[in-house]
Structure 1
Amino acid sequence: MIKKMGIRWNLRKLMAMHEMFQTTDLVPLLAERGVHLSREQVFRLVTQPPQRLSMDTLAALCDILGCTPNDLIEVEAVNAQVPKAVGDETAPLPQVRRTTIRRPGP
């Protein structure tokens, strides 16, 4: 069984709740807390879920927004696969896609 995990990144939503509508609003607030990021880095941080995030940046965001890491990051299962039990009629069947190979003919 393979379970792929995804995250929902709520930084933009939390910023809006604090009436912060421009990504550049975060730059000086992060700098006050010792996190020095360029405007472009902050833009990417706000607009897309980060693949890696330093603990210093996470702590600074939580301090700025008065929230916890759980408010910023929601973990969710994506494309969860469930094995079919013997005799279980309600379990999903695996998806099979058949492919036909055609050779060019004369």
Structure 2
Amino acid sequence: MTTQKRVDFEWNLRKLMAARNLWKSTELIPLLRSRGIVLSQPQTYRLMTGKPERINTRVFAALCDILDCSPAELFEPIVVMEARATANAPDVHPGSTARPTNQKAPGVRRVRVVEDEET
């Protein structure tokens, strides 16, 4: 049977910066500027402290060059949940305290997926 997956990603910019003794967003601005990327201090701070939903490929390439890392080290995809395709998977990570954003439609029942027993 096919499975459905919910994927997310780890944004490791802060970890990689710390490993290279870069601690502040203001230290990153001139390094980006020297590669033709002009970001304001608030934009750079958000890039550093948040998890970007969209990122310009030139910014991404400049960060990889500055940090001397591969794209896979900076942006690490992760699977947060796998379920059979027939199951109604929640929209949030199982360990999260956030409430699911989707509401069940009338007549839809949530089922628990259990492993098949060998007979």
SS at match of 1:19: coil
Q: How far apart in 2 are the matches of 1:4 and 1:88?
A: 22
Which is bigger in relative contact order (C-alpha 8 A, separation at least 6)?
Answer: 1
Query: Equivalent residue for 2:117?
Result: 89
Structure 1 ranges of 4+ moved more than 4 A = none
Query: Equivalent residue for 1:25?
Result: 27
Pick from 52, 77, 80 the counterpart of residue 78 of structure 1.
80
Alignment of 1:1-106 (within 5 A): 1-82=3-84, 88-89=116-117
Q: How far apart in 2 are the matches of 1:5 and 1:25?
A: 32
Question: RMSD between aligned alpha carbons?
Answer: 2.0
- How far is 1:48 from its partner? 1.1
Q: How far apart in 2 are the matches of 1:89 and 1:38?
A: 58
Unaligned runs of 5+ in 1: 91-106
Q: Percent identity?
A: 43
SS at match of 1:88: coil
Paired residue type of 2:68: G
- How far is 1:89 from its partner? 3.1
More helix by share: 1
Q: How far apart in 1 are the matches of 2:82 and 2:21?
A: 36
Instruction: Tell me the TM-score normalized by structure 2.
Output: 0.69
Instruction: Tell me the TM-score normalized by structure 1.
Output: 0.76
Which structure: larger Rg?
A: 1
